[in-house]
Amino acid sequence: MPVTATAETSLRTARGPRLGVVHLLRLRKRPIEHNDFLRATYGDVVRLHVFGTTLYAAYGLDAAEQVLINRERIFANGPAWSHFIGPFFRRGLMLLDFDEHLHHRRILQHAFTNDALRRYHAVMVPHIRSGLAAWESVPQPRMHQLFKELTLDLALETFVGVDLTRAEQDRINQAFIDAVRAGTSIVRKPVPGTPWARGLAARKVLEEFFFTHLPEKRRRGGDDLFAQLCIARSEEGDEFSDEDIVNHMIFLLMAAHDTSTITMSAMAYFLARHPEWQEAAREESIAAGTVDYDGVLGLDLLDRVMKESMRLCSPVPSLPRVAVRETSLNGHRIPAGAFVAVSPYYNHHDPAYWPDPTRFDPDRFSPERREDHSHRMAFEPFGGGVHKCIGMHFAGVQVRAIFHELLRSYRWSVPAGYEWPLDLAALPFPRDRLPVRLERIDS
């Protein structure tokens, strides 16, 4: 609700720790415990200082609903996300706001219809099979690394659909990796040798690449995402300009890649820690055999494993916004221009909605329990409201298609008592890349 003269007087001013950086480090190490501490000490909105910026952390599902559903159009994505990734992923869908965002989203939606997903699935399956077959000869497999390589290769097939030499593929992959890394650079100016400077150079490489292939893509079409963006039209017949297509392609590659990789790493980690669940999921996949698109979506246990893994390890742990007008949140005044963040990672561990929240229990999502239905915002790994992930169904199909093949081809394990060293500085990833023992099986 916008702040009114009468409401203003009753609003509190958010407080927070004086030493933001110290708290930030604690937040990275033990995010749940430290957020619990901050919430208990300072209340439901905490003021933090992050990279020279004041940020209001808003706790709880009602605040998440207010920010993400954003009925009053107060919270903007562009200025918030641009602060972190703007120079490298500018004018990607997630960085647009309000009417312009809706306009682009309507056109983009046409690349994510059921029929389009069906075609992406058909393109990706042979590449999943050949990619996984090569894992057998990897001497010291690290699942996170393997998923990362596999999803990058798949992205080139399903997203870009251009035949490239291995050297060209590596060049594009490297540019893409540099653009993603740049967002976490401590130096945030183009100082030579810094990730920031490499990110800017990478952005140029990616732009050149897509602009070069665009005319041919427009002419020949195809089943890949790049071709779909060329033919996508809104209901009113609007289409994307060349610049729009290039901007969206670069952003989509990024949005799809690390998020799917961490989702699969989390699934692999929890299934290694809980072999009984791994065996149950394997039984389901073996019984299903070779499946088509509908068959992949029918793998219920795998679906629950994916959801529970994303609950425990939300691939996008925090969703930032900037308030374009002064407003109130959880009874606290939020000034115009302030950064606000809601955290799916934190909210997914709230015992009020998720009993025994640290326990890996895929059956929370079974029809009898549906703990995710306890609040509209209880389960938000893909965000919510107008910016809710446009690729969530794509991700669901891809991740499940990979795990279906993986479970039928390999058994994997970690030593007893192993706990992954999760880095939560930006998007989560295991610092050791999740080393496992991988055993080939014949199903």
Q: Which residues lie below 8 Å from residue 409, measured CB to CB, with a gap of 6+?
A: 132, 133, 440, 441, 443
Smallest gap, in angstroms, from Cβ of residue 363 to ligand HEM? 21
93 contributes a contact to ligand HEM by CB under 6 A: yes
Least Cα distance to 146 among 403, 423, 369 occurs for 403
Task: Tell me the number of residues near ligand HEM by CB under 6 A.
Answer: 22
**Hey, what amino acid is at 16?**
G
Closest residue to ligand HEM, based on beta-carbon distance: 391
Residue 277 burial (C-beta neighbours within 10 Å; 0-12, 13-18, 19+): buried
Smallest gap, in angstroms, from Cβ of residue 4 to ligand HEM? 27
Positive or negative, the CA dihedral 276, 282, 284, 286 is: negative
296 contributes a contact to ligand HEM by CB under 6 A: no
Specify the long-range contacts of residues 21-29, CB closer than 8 Å, at least 24 apart.
Answer: 21/49, 23/48, 24/48, 24/50, 27/424, 28/423, 28/424, 28/425
Q: Which of 107, 202, 395, 434 binds ligand HEM (CB under 6 A)?
A: 395
Least Cα distance to 347 among 326, 387, 317 occurs for 317
Smallest gap, in angstroms, from Cβ of residue 438 to ligand HEM? 23
Smallest gap, in angstroms, from Cβ of residue 288 to ligand HEM? 22
Q: Which residues lie below 8 Å from residue 342, measured CB to CB, with a gap of 6+?
A: 58, 63, 64, 67, 68, 318, 319, 321
Smallest gap, in angstroms, from Cβ of residue 140 to ligand HEM? 26
By C-beta, is 42 or 70 nearer to ligand HEM?
Answer: 70
Cα separation, 318 vs 347, whole angstroms: 10
By rule CB under 6 A, what string of x and - marks binding of each residue 180-209 to ligand HEM? ------------------------------
By C-beta, is 46 or 316 nearer to ligand HEM?
Answer: 316
By C-beta, is 20 or 92 nearer to ligand HEM?
Answer: 92
Q: Which stretch binds ligand HEM (CB under 6 A): 13-21, 161-169, 194-202, 391-399?
A: 391-399
Smallest gap, in angstroms, from Cβ of residue 77 to ligand HEM? 6
Smallest gap, in angstroms, from Cβ of residue 232 to ligand HEM? 13
Segment 210-269, which members bind ligand HEM (CB under 6 A)?
A: 252, 255-256, 259-260, 263
Q: Which of 394, 403, 410, 420 binds ligand HEM (CB under 6 A)?
A: 394
> Token pair 């005319």 is at which residue?
215
Q: Which residues lie below 8 Å from residue 222, measured CB to CB, with a gap of 6+?
A: 161
77 contributes a contact to ligand HEM by CB under 6 A: yes
Q: Which of 78, 317, 383, 430 binds ligand HEM (CB under 6 A)?
A: 383
By C-beta, is 260 or 278 nearer to ligand HEM?
Answer: 260
Q: Which of 348, 387, 400, 433 binds ligand HEM (CB under 6 A)?
A: 387
Residue 187 burial (C-beta neighbours within 10 Å; 0-12, 13-18, 19+): exposed
Q: Which of 390, 413, 423, 426 binds ligand HEM (CB under 6 A)?
A: 390
Asked whether residue 389 is marked as a ligand-binding residue, the answer is yes
By C-beta, is 226 or 420 nearer to ligand HEM?
Answer: 226
Q: Which of 15, 28, 105, 171 binds ligand HEM (CB under 6 A)?
A: 105
Smallest gap, in angstroms, from Cβ of residue 159 to ligand HEM? 7
By C-beta, is 42 or 157 nearer to ligand HEM?
Answer: 157
For residue 358, give both structure tokens.
Answer: 């640290």
Q: Which stretch binds ligand HEM (CB under 6 A): 5-13, 28-36, 312-320, 432-440?
A: 312-320
Smallest gap, in angstroms, from Cβ of residue 283 to ligand HEM? 24
Interface residues toward ligand HEM, by CB under 6 A: 77, 93-94, 105, 252, 255-256, 259-260, 263, 315-316, 319, 381-383, 387, 389-391, 394-395
Per the annotation, binding residues for heme are 389
